[in-house]
């Protein structure tokens, strides 16, 4: 657009200079009766007059000047000997003596006082009796929007509106007008974002009703015609496969020129091309040329592809490195020589972060200029790593009826035996359980996501069903989920040796006695997790199965197997309500119940089982009224999880029973009902459940309380 240039004139004001020694002629005032002064006769400027002659010759003028130093940086000479020359007096003129100003008066002492600090300077407005300042300086207004509802922008406009942010109040009408002008620009920007580039908006402010003191601000928008794409051009080299850029950009003639759509299309190119072999792709600045007559626009996007790449080697960098290249190669899922895929790079970065051993870690491609197959270039991955703090202290506390208070703490050094060899010391302290455990754990042991660990534990448990003193040594290999890295498939397998001294009710003697068992087991587990969150699932399902072939030795060896299967499901009814359900069955074939150590039997009841009953409270009981456990069980639960903000309410019903026989018969089912509260945090929900048994029997808990971290299932 050509802009006009205006010539700007400048007026120069000339001043009068007075030279020293120059006499100024004055016209004498005529005395009374002498009449008006006579105007002087015209002067002939062509004739030479005495005034044209030199008043002071140059030589005399130079001689009268004081001598100055030749050094231009020297200070000026003092003026003490300088005398003002006498003024010549022309006959017939009136002269007056030049009088000097009197010396200044002494400064008032108040001016020498320091100023009052700003922090102590207070100004209180004058209060006028009977006048409310807030009401006197505040006007009310309403906002009306016209024209934006036709193109679906009114709601978004009101969300961003300066007038709406003012909540209908302003100090004066000028403030309302200023907000309205901001909203005019907002309306135009919003219309442009949807392709209405001829859109205009105006605001009007009027009293509503007249002389009421209230005003109405109206924003009237005129969208105009919708602009659409006419020609779509991508300026770039050829891709493999051909047409890759056109497919991923997916902008076509006739599409509206909408900001979100175009920016999203360009972002898709930046995302998808690195997933298909182009790690260094760069998008230039788009150009859209609009035609006001056809209401169409020609779109041009320059793209710098860079080389098509294949994976090369891993190189590391950092002052305090944690892993060498050999261990990082265990964590990668791609094979060298494969076409570059940024998703594999992100996966490697997440695996490194999941170790929790870095203060900072990054993974990025670097060019090598080495040719690869099919016209590609080999690209290495640079891992920048800096070591973080390897030690962790953790604690957890909970409470449940029948199990009492239970606190658990641990100390972990995650890299005491590099790479990823951790030493863990943990302990349990509760009203009915105490114990210590030492564990060596190596994560990513020879294969990504595989964990090897060896543990030794000493434990004391004193429950209604039994009291035991237990020592154990266990080894296992596993693939586990974590809050950072939730896995679809999980498993573990291993072995353990347990020595346990426990009390039980001896039905042959009709009294309780103690016994010592030596137990060897080969426990294993497999799980499939299709839920959306490890600690707070809202949709999906989970399946679990446990198998543990075991042998208990007390006088004679008795082999048996402990079997357990469980399934949970989560269904979102709405954005704030989730229905969750759980079913569990278990069986122990190969041995009579009374030959089983009490700690290896099945029990039901408690916060992770059937709520409303105390821990291990369900099932057969001995003549002294204490639970004896069984060889089979079944459990069911259903709950409605209602969440509002960071809080939740969960009503639930649980059911279950333990049986002496091999198979769960679903007979004599017991039910518990209750309600729970949830406080949702960034590490999972805090759970408080209160339940009561339905058709309570003598000796059973009236109210059961459970406090823990995480959902019940």
Q: What is the pLDDT of residues 619-638, one digit of tens each?
A: 898 888 889 999 999 999 99
* Res 704 pLDDT > 60: yes
pLDDT value for 212 = 67
Q: Which of 16-30, 328-342, 396-410, 690-704 has the lowest mean pLDDT?
A: 16-30
298 contacts 231 by C-beta, under 8 angstroms: yes
Kindly report the length of the chain.
713
Question: Does residue 21 surpass a pLDDT of 70?
Answer: no
Q: Residue 258 pLDDT > 60, yes or no?
A: yes
Q: Using CA atoms in the order 544, 549, 553, 557, what is the torsion angle rounded to 10 degrees?
A: 150
Q: CA–CA separation, 679 vs 580, rounded Å?
A: 18
The tokens for 628 are 């004896």
CA distances from 175 to 165, 206, 459 (A): 13, 14, 73
The two three-digit tokens of residue 569, written as one number: 């499901």
CA–CA separation, 51 vs 57, rounded Å? 14
Is 209 a residue whose pLDDT tops 80?
A: no
In this structure, what token pair is assigned to residue 162? 């300066």
The structure's pTM equals 0.69
Q: Any alpha helices (H) in 107-241, and if so which ranges?
A: 133-136, 154-160, 162-165, 173-193
Q: How does the average pLDDT of the chain come out, rounded?
A: 84
Is pLDDT larger for residue 543 or for residue 139? Answer: 543
Model confidence at 118, pLDDT cuts 50, 70, 90, reads low
Q: What is the mean pLDDT of the segment spanning 672-680?
A: 94
Which residue, among 461, 504, 463, 503, has the nearest Cα to 628 in the 3D structure? 504
Residues 216-238 have pLDDT tens digits of 999 999 999 999 999 999 999 99
Longest dimension (CA), the chain: 160
**Nearest-CA neighbor of 328 among 274, 374, 273, 384?**
384
The answer for residues whose C-beta is within 8 angstroms of residue 629's C-beta and 6 or more apart is 465, 593, 596, 598, 601, 602, 603, 616, 619, 620, 658
Residue 81 in this model has a pLDDT that exceeds 60 = no
pLDDT, tens digit, 9 for 90 and up, residues 485-537: 788 999 999 999 999 999 988 888 878 888 899 999 999 999 999 999 888 89
> Given a cut of 50, is residue 27 above it in pLDDT?
no
Number of helical (H) and strand (E) elements in the chain, helices listed first: 9, 28
pLDDT of residue 615: 85
Identify which of 353, 400, 226, 367 has the alpha carbon closest to the alpha carbon of residue 296.
226
Taking only the tens place, the pLDDT of each residue in 289-326 is 999 999 999 999 999 999 999 999 999 998 889 999 99
Distances (CA, A) of 128 to 136, 139, 171, 191: 11, 19, 19, 49
Q: Are 365 and 380 in contact (CB under 8 A)?
A: yes
Give yes or no for residue 33 having a pLDDT over 50: no
Is 447 a residue whose pLDDT tops 80? yes
Lowest mean pLDDT: which of 20-34, 564-578, 618-632?
20-34
pLDDT confidence of residue 173: 85
Q: What is the pLDDT of residue 36?
A: 40
Structure tokens at 710: 């995480």
To the nearest whole percent, how much of the chain has pLDDT over 70?
82
Confidence band of 61 (pLDDT split at 50, 70, 90): confident
Q: Apex CA 483: angle with CA 418 and CA 387, to 5°? A: 30
Task: State phi, psi for 211 to the nearest 5 degrees.
Answer: 55, 30
Residue 185: burial class (beta carbons within 10 Å; 0-12, 13-18, 19+): exposed
Mean pLDDT over 693-697 rounds to 89
């Amino acid at each position: 657009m050509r802009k006009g240039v205006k010539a700007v004139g400048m007026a120069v004001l000339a001043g009068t200079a007075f030279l020293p020694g120059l006499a100024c002629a004055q016209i004498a005032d005529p005395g009374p009766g002498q009449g008006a002064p006579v105007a002087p006769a015209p002067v002939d400027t062509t004739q030479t007059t005495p005034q044209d002659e030199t008043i002071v010759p140059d030589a005399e003028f130079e001689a009268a000047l004081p001598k100055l130093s030749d050094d231009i940086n020297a200070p000026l000479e003092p003026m003490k000997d300088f005398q003002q020359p006498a003024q010549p007096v022309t006959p017939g003129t009136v002269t007056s003596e030049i009088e000097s100003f009197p010396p200044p008066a002494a400064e008032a002492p108040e001016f020498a006082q320091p100023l009052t600090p700003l922090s102590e300077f207070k100004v209180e407005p004058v209060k006028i009796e009977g006048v409310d300042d807030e009401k006197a300086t505040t006007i009310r207004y309403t906002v009306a929007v016209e024209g934006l509802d036709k193109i679906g922008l009114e709601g978004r406009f009101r969300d961003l509106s300066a007038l709406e942010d003012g909540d209908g109040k302003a100090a004066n009408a000028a403030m309302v007008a200023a907000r309205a002008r901001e909203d005019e620009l907002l309306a135009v920007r919003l219309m442009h974002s949807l392709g209405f580039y001829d859109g205009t908006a105006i605001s009007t402010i009027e009293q509503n009703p007249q002389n009421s003191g209230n005003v109405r601000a109206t924003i009237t928008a005129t969208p105009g015609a919708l602009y659409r794409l006419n020609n779509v051009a991508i300026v770039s080299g050829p891709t493999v496969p051909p047409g890759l850029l056109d497919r991923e950009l997916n902008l076509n003639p006739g599409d509206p020129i909408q900001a979100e759509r175009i920016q999203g299309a360009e972002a898709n190119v930046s995302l998808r091309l690195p997933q298909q072999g182009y790690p260094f792709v760069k998008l230039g600045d788009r150009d859209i040329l609009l035609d006001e007559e056809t209401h169409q626009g020609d779109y041009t996007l320059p793209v710098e592809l860079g080389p098509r790449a294949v994976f090369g080697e891993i190189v590391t960098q950092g002052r305090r490195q944690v892993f060498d290249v050999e261990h990082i190669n265990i964590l990668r899922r791609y094979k060298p020589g494969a076409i570059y895929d940024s998703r594999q790079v992100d996966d490697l970065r997440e695996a490194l972060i999941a170790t929790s051993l870095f203060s900072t870690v990054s993974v990025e491609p670097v060019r090598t200029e080495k040719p690869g197959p099919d016209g590609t270039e080999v690209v290495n991955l640079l891992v920048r790593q800096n070591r973080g703090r390897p030690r962790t202290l953790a604690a957890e506390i909970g409470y449940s009826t029948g199990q009492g208070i239970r606190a658990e703490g641990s100390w972990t050094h995650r890299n005491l035996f590099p790479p990823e060899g951790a030493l863990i010391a943990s302990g349990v302290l509760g009203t009915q359980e105490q114990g210590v455990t030492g564990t060596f754990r190596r994560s990513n042991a020879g294969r990504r996501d595989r964990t090897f660990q060896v543990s030794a534990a000493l434990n004391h448990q004193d429950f209604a069903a039994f009291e035991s003193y237990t020592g154990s040594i266990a080894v296992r290999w596993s693939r586990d989920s974590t809050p950072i890295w939730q896995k679809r498939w999980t498993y573990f397998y291993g072995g353990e040796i347990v020595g346990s001294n426990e009390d039980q009710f001896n039905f042959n003697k009709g009294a309780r006695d103690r016994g010592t068992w030596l137990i060897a087991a080969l426990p294993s587990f497999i799980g499939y997790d299709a839920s959306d969150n490890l600690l707070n699932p809202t949709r999906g399902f989970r399946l679990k199965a446990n198998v543990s072939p075991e042998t208990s030795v007390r006088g004679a060896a008795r082999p048996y197997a402990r079997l357990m299967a469980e399934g949970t499901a989560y269904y979102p009814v709405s954005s704030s309500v989730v229905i969750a359900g759980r079913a569990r069955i278990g069986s122990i074939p190969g041995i009579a119940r009374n030959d089983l150590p009490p700690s290896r039997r099945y029990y039901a009841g408690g916060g992770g089982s059937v709520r409303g009953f105390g821990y291990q409270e369900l099932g057969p009981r001995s003549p002294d009224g204490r639970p004896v456990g069984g060889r089979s069980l079944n459990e069911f639960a259903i709950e409605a999880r209602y969440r509002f903000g960071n809080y939740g309410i969960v009503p639930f019903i649980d059911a279950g029973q333990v049986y002496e026989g091999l198979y769960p018969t679903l007979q004599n089912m017991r039910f518990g009902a209750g309600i729970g509260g949830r406080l949702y945090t960034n590490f999972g929900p805090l759970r408080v459940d209160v339940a009561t048994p339905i058709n309570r029997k003598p000796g059973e808990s009236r109210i059961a309380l459970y406090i823990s971290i995480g959902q019940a299932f």
